[in-house]
Structure 1
Amino acid sequence: MPRPPILDETALTPAQQPIYSAILNGPRGIVEGPLRVWLHSPGLADKAQALGAFCRYGTTLPPDLSELAILVTGAFWQSGFEWAVHAPIAAKAGIAPEVIEAIRLGHRPEGLSDTAAAVHDFATELHRNRVVSDETYARAEAALGLQGVVDLVGILGYYTLISMTINAFHVPLPDGAPDPFPLPR
């Protein structure tokens, strides 16, 4: 069961209303999941949704690499809502079903391009080890450039915040979505 009170769109405070409208009328077009939780802290919601819009739609990473990083993060945190939302987006961005499934299971996918492997390995290493080796960093920078690596870390950090919010507040899966991480955590 979700932990925070259910957000009532008809009773938004003056501080919540402009943020809710900005999210609804922005590139997402929907106020769901962790965004609904954040609205209980309007200042956080305002800044986090703006960062999220950049991380999702404005970085130098093409959609397939961005979604790859998001999937690694969602799988690391076993964040069901995040996975249920982004696995279909990743597939539409061109990530093969077997790659998506390998990431869900915590395995290193086979058949990745050199650039995709650099993103996957950087994301996985940073999450698991809390640092990145010089070799992994060099591969990522060679593949993405310095700005791309900075953007990648921003994506990983933002989607960690998303995943932590989902897990801490028991954000339910979208209607009809199966739990991608059904085992006890």
Structure 2
Amino acid sequence: MRVEDVDPAGMSDEQRSLYEWYTTGRRASPDSPFQLSTPDGKLQGPPAVWILSPAFGQALQKIGGVVRYESALPARGREIAILLVGHHHRSAFELYAHTRAGRAAGLSEHDLAALADGKEPSDLSAAEGSILRATKAILDRGTLDDLEYRDTVDILGEPGLLELVTIVGYYNIVAWQLAVFDVQPPAA
């Protein structure tokens, strides 16, 4: 990582609040598919750099919390979209974390391999297929054409499409941050 870990002993109150968000509560649950803090209390992944600017870090963690815990999109579909963004950017940490989250959401090893190869996994639900096709179009062209828009809205609804576009945008931001600050997954 291009920046030093922030020592919890020297954190401002704002940094401490963000730090505690990732070291306690739902995100630190032992049954979470991946952890954003290490056993010795260091932050890893996006929070390792978000701690540098607590106002931005808090805003980003709020969006991330909504994406992970409040989206109406199916969990497998969300993970498909996130993994497509991770593969698009070759984001090692996103792929590390969301391969695990994808497995926890029910993606098989075959599904994960197909996504890694840029192929559509077999046996996707209508919503999952729609999420995959719309995400690919957004990543490739930055938008949907009129037919893609109608097809996606017919399956996901307009609120679902808004959620999907937000998920894709949010994980693009995360991938760029991880790349610029050279945040890597933990050693295996």
> What TM-score do you get using the length of structure 2 for normalisation?
0.86
**1:134: which partner in 2?**
146
How many Å apart are 1:21 and its aligned residue?
1.5
Task: Note the alpha carbon deviations across 1:9-55, whole angstroms, 9 max, x for none.
Answer: 22212221112112333421144211110110111101001110001
SS of equivalent to 1:15? helix
**2:7: which partner in 1?**
8
**1:56: which partner in 2?**
68
Contact 1:16 1:42 in 2 (8 A): yes
CA RMSD, Structure 1 to Structure 2 (Å)? 1.5
**1:24: which partner in 2?**
23
**1:101: which partner in 2?**
113
Pairs aligned (count) = 175
How many Å apart are 1:129 and its aligned residue?
0.7
- Runs (4+) of structure 1 exceeding 3 A deviation are 108-111
Q: Which amino acid aligns with 1:109?
A: P
Contact 1:23 1:49 in 2 (8 A): no
How many Å apart are 1:60 and its aligned residue?
0.9
Task: Note the alpha carbon deviations across 1:104-147, whole angstroms, 9 max, x for none.
Answer: 12233344232211100100110111111222222221111111
How many Å apart are 1:97 and its aligned residue?
1.7
How many Å apart are 1:88 and its aligned residue?
1.7
Q: Does 1:115 align with 2:114?
A: no
Task: Note the alpha carbon deviations across 1:66-85, whole angstroms, 9 max, x for none.
Answer: 11111111111110111011
Task: Give ranges in structure 2 of 5+ residues lacking alignment.
Answer: 29-35, 38-43
Identity of aligned residues (%): 27
CA distance in 1, matches of 2:127, 2:165: 15
SS of equivalent to 2:73? coil
**2:166: which partner in 1?**
154
**1:180: which partner in 2?**
none
Q: Which amino acid aligns with 2:105?
A: A
